[in-house]
Amino acid sequence: MSKKFIATPSRTKEILSTYSFHFKKSLGQNFLVDANILENILKQAGIDKGAGAIEIGPGIGALTEQLAIHADKVLAFEIDQRLLPILNSTLSDYNNVTIIHQDILKADVRTAIEEYFHPDQPVHLVANLPYYITTPILMKLLMEKLPVASFTVMIQKEVAERMAAQPNSKSYGSLTIAIQYYTNAKVVMNVPKQVFMPQPNVDSAILRLVTREEPPVEVDDEDFFFTLVQACFAQRRKTLRNNLLSHFKQKYDKEEISLLLEEIAIDGTRRGESLSMEEFARMANAFYRNRK
């Protein structure tokens, strides 16, 4: 890749120096300075000239630039006002990029998609997400059920492993269930901390989430399902029965919980990490139908 691209240590330093830009720790700013990693992200994201791309936190435009080259249109959300003049300059060669100065957690992303992209166009989200709010961002976007075909995101390695985990593993928990209810999740690449400026304290990974057309399980009430899943993981060392009793003590006594679990053939002495999503759905539906 040509040296003129933003994603090199020398070009990044030059841009930061020109604008006297200082990183804000509170915004989790770590800029990628390795063009090969960017190439891999784009390959994994399946971006082509027919696709629309959404980016969150474009920084100085390293990934945005590559998206502009390979996608039809790019829509990027940036919270830090100081970066807007930098992005105007670094991306001035590309007329297919729109930057929205807004906090993604407050943005109406659905309306933005409808206004900016063609209705028949596949839209993919590709981003190097700020690690301190990775989960709230992804959960907001997934729960809004946006017309986004896939999410290819660079996040903290440990969080990526939790999102893509399988039952009976240490990483498997309520976050796993929430992410995999909406998507097929896979860690596609690990990324060392050395390719960022400044270097974060943790290693990263690229997580690929392909949006499901339908959830893999049928639940009577989604909110209740997620509440029950969280209750089952509240204290990982506790059995299902004890975690459920602890959470639902105003509604059920120990005997009622044991009876409900017996009815759906789930052993109350098991722990949350041993249950499949199908078992969680069965349990949530049984408790929801018997709620007082």
Is 78 annotated in some ligand binding site? yes
Is 91 annotated in some ligand binding site? no
CA-CA-CA-CA dihedral for 14, 130, 73, 93, to nearest 10? -10
Is 30 annotated in some ligand binding site? yes
Q: Among 53, 186, 43, which residue's Cα sits nearest to residue 113?
A: 53
In the sheet that holds 97-101, the strands lie side by side as 97-101, 73-78, 52-56, 123-128, 150-156, 204-211, 183-191
Is 128 annotated in some ligand binding site? yes
Rounded CA-CA distance 205/156 in Å is 6
Is 103 annotated in some ligand binding site? yes
Rounded CA-CA distance 142/13 in Å is 35
Rounded CA-CA distance 276/229 in Å is 11
> Do residues 191 and 206 make contact, with C-beta atoms less than 8 angstroms apart?
yes
> Do residues 122 and 52 make contact, with C-beta atoms less than 8 angstroms apart?
yes
Binding-site residues, please? 30, 32, 57, 78, 103, 128
Binding-site residues for S-adenosyl-L-methionine, please? 30, 32, 57, 78, 103, 128
